[in-house]
């Protein structure tokens, strides 16, 4: 899987990793719950942005590639994968 924005995604993931370490420290230091929850919301929002970007790439490369190929079985497989992924997110 190749992506044009790989370095941006890796930088964003590195920042998220730092945020999670910060939350870990906050818990160790018995910081105020609302402050910790605020940071957890920020981590979740940052992860959602990464997820959206990777989904956009998947649609633009993998799904589009299956459509352009004309291979009906591959198109069905790619669509089924995406549906399964979305179903797991709603459980």
pLDDT of 57 higher than 80: yes
Whole-angstrom distance, CA of residue 3 vs CA of residue 9: 9
H or E stretch including 85? helix 72-89
**6-89 belongs to CATH 1.10.260.40:** no
**CA terminus-to-terminus distance, the chain:** 27
pLDDT band at 12; cut points 50, 70, 90: very high
User: Could you tell me if 57 and 5 are in contact, meaning their C-beta atoms sit under 8 angstroms apart?
Assistant: yes
1 CB-near residues (< 8 Å, 6+ apart): 61
Summarised one tens digit per residue, pLDDT across range 59-70 is: 988 899 999 999
Per-residue model confidence as pLDDT tens digits over 19-43: 999 999 999 999 999 999 999 999 9
Q: Which residues contact 4 (CB under 8 A, 6 or more apart)?
A: none
Tell me the pTM.
0.82
If you average pLDDT over every residue of the chain, what do you get?
93
């Amino acid at each position: 899987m190749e992506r044009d924005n790989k370095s941006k995604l890796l930088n964003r993931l590195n920042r998220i990793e730092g945020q999670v370490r910060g939350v870990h420290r906050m818990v160790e230091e018995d910081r105020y719950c609302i402050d910790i929850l605020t940071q957890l919301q920020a981590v979740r929002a940052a992860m959602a942005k990464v997820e959206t970007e990777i989904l956009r790439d998947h649609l633009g490369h993998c799904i589009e590639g299956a459509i352009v190929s004309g291979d009906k079985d591959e198109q069905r497989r790619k669509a089924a994968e995406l549906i399964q992924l979305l179903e797991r997110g709603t459980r």
